[in-house]
Amino acid sequence: MQNKAKVFPVSHIVGFVLSLVMTFAAAWVALKTFYSFNTIMMIIGTLAVLQAALQLTMFMHMNEGEDGRTQTINVVYGIFVAIVIVAGTVWVMSIGMHTHH
C-alpha cells in the first residue's frame, strides 16, 4: 500500500460488489434452479469458500501490513493442513471399508 492516502477505496468497492454478486448467485442457485440437492450444495459451498477468501483479502487486511505475507502463508498453510486432515483421512480410511461392506 502506498503512503499516499487512497481517497477512493477500490478494493472495498470491488470486494463489496463481488460479495453481493456471490451472495445473490448462491440465493438464485438455491431458490430458482432445479439442480439436484447435491449439486446445489456443491455450488453454494464453493461460493461460500470463495467469498470467505475474498473477504479475508479485501476487508480483513490479511495481506497488508508488515506481516501481510506471513499471515497469508499461515492461512494458506492452515487451509492446506485442514484439507489434508479431512480429505486425507477420508481417502485413507475409506479404502479398507469397501471390503467390509
Partner 1 sequence: MGIKWNEFFITGDPLILGSQIAILLTMIGIVAGITYLRKWRWLWTEWLTTVDHKRIGIMYIIAAVLMFFRGGMDGLLMKAQTSGPEKEFLTAQHYNEIFTTHGVIMILFMAMPFLIGLMNVVIPLQIGARDVAFPHLNAWSFWLFFSGAMLFNISFVIGGSPDAGWTSYFPLAGKEFSPGIGNNYYAVALQIAGIGTLMSGINFIVTILKMRTKGMTLMKMPMFTWTTLVTSVIIVAAFPIFTVALALMTFDRLYGTHFFTLSGGGMDMLWANLFWLWAHPEVYIVALPAFGIFSEVIATFSRKSLFGYKSMVFSIVGIAVLSMVVWVHHFYTMGASPGVNSFFSITTMLIAVPTGVKIFNWLFTMRKGRIKMTSAMLWALAFVPCFVIGGVTGVMLGMGAADYQYHNTLFLVAHFHYVLIPGVVFAVFAGLYYWWPKMFGHMLNEKLGKWHFWLFVIGFNVTFMPMFFLGLDGAVRRAYTYSEASGFAPLFALSGIGSVVLAAGFAVFCYNIYWSFRYADRNISSDPWDARTLEWATASPVQHYNFAKLPEASSLDAFWYMKKNNEGLTLSDKEIKKIHMPSNSGLPFIMAIVFGVTGFFLVFEWHIAAAIAALGIVGGLIYRSFDYNDGYYVPVEEVQETESAWRNVKGEVNNHVS
Residues interacting with partner 1, by CB under 8 A? Answer: 67, 70, 74, 77-78, 80-81, 84-85, 88-89, 91-93, 95-97
3-class SS string, the chain: CCCCCCCCCHHHHHHHHHHHHHHHHHHHHHHHCCCCHHHHHHHHHHHHHHHHHHHHHHCCCCCCCCCHHHHHHHHHHHHHHHHHHHHHHHHHHHHHHHHHC
Of 62, 65, 90, 88, residue with least CA distance to 76: 62
Q: Which is nearer to partner 1, 41 or 73 (by Cβ)?
A: 73
Q: Which is nearer to partner 1, 20 or 81 (by Cβ)?
A: 81
Q: Could you tell me the smallest distance in angstroms from the CB atom of residue 96 to partner 1?
A: 6
Q: Which is nearer to partner 1, 21 or 85 (by Cβ)?
A: 85
Q: Could you tell me the smallest distance in angstroms from the CB atom of residue 69 to partner 1?
A: 9
Q: Could you tell me the smallest distance in angstroms from the CB atom of residue 84 to partner 1?
A: 5
